[in-house]
Structure 1
């Protein structure tokens, strides 16, 4: 038998692995399969069901025969609904298989080798890997807890170079929940107007999960619209993670370039899922208001409990469904040099799955998702408290 040739990864994905969030979730699932009573507060997936009206729309689309290929940029109905909501035109919209594909399309369509992408840390873990895969270089700007984990104009100015192609903003933020005020966005706009080569990607996927007023960048900074890509979708607010529908809104030339990438990778997104997303966008916000109130109660429960634990400092997030507490004191008290070692210990010894801050570019913290029932959150918080107090 001939020996198989040695496998070589392409240079563009050397060092690229499944995200640490997914790895932790898979490890937690493996422990559960072995009989351990694991509490996993590690994933960003709301526990609410997809709204009934959305499911009904999907069922009707299927029975009506809307099961064929869709246009690469999305169905006319969904693009129109997105455009109406964003005060844009349908030709400025691309629909993709989730918001992650929108971001990948944009980076693959625009980055040359060595182009720089500024990303405030903490940032969603996939940002940096997508940029590297597209040939770009992430420029990570640490944002202090004292600044609300938000990018300041001075820090942005210092990070920009002639090689900067994009700034990635995410608000409400994963993992910190930070939301920028109109004044803060205008201050960043003033910096960007001095650097016309820099495009802006505004990831607003958690837009409707806000506990203080949220303002879209496109509305606050209209002078940036000619180089702004807004990313959004139905996954988080409408509990439609598995439907895989996200979208981008931006200048027509950018949208066409992103469509060229998508057309050679996946073509158009699922027809049934697009019908469901159209129903979500056009069906009113009452269900979102109820779920936001539930998330606020969960947030308050988690923040109050964490603030009472030794070595943990936790600020209440303004949006999304995560807290991102500083844990350096707890790490030191338990003899762990890194946040990753601390989280490994929690899973191995206390059957509690959380995500270390290093996964988001800012070590010394951890992310806890409160997109779970209060009973499950309380169990997880009790386990963390016992671990920090040395109880078994």
Structure 2
């Protein structure tokens, strides 16, 4: 992998600082942490409120942070389609900044549907991509597994999965330095003849792409995601979202069991003290905040979607991840890859607003 990655200073990351379950405080704190790590940030939201929040952080005035006023915010209980009529909504301001070239990426911990809709409507799709997908990382043996789609598209066509495999392959090559990432197709068995009609048709498309921009391993099962059998796993957004939520929920339950077991008696408490550092490292790997936010891949600009319940650490890591993708010229690389090899879709699809 070439080490040649020209850094493009000066372009900040636009953060929807009004989004999320907890509003401005974790967004501003995460922005301050990212700025101290060298990332320039545009805080988008209600100007007075954001300046007041920034004032709580000593030395924030000297950091590369600018406040951009956005008088409106799309709440978590509102419709994603509202982005069409509310130009002043914070997420729309963020994606416009990216479109205009004033920001390198848009990051939101707010309404995921609104973020997808705004990014798609404002930025458009990369030529050759029918539908963007949400790409995320899950902790796995030896590192992490990249999973997509995890929620943007509940109903899909086989060619979408093939396109997502190509998108994720480029992403891992240019952002994560994985030279020839392997792609697995999530199914109910490893055998080629197993799976739904969608899986069978997607398998044929991916097999045809093997050696032509995609290193296709074959079918993988749910357990393979965490075993690290392949670098990438593709599936429909309904299944992917269930896998993601199951993984996050199971991690919390398991750590609860460990905590309870270590507190049962004096002997187990002493054992817990001895294993404390190892357990902290494990918790770090399994914490969603470590990955910050998920990339909406396939649109003509960088857009990241995080958990509404995200804390400052997740916000910071989302901003750092967005900066890395920008420095790696991800969008340009994706467009070049699709332009070079051409689309692999059966028919064109008109843009729709995600729900």
Q: Give the TM-score band, short-chain normalised.
A: under 0.3
Q: What is the TM-score with the length of structure 1 in the denominator?
A: 0.25
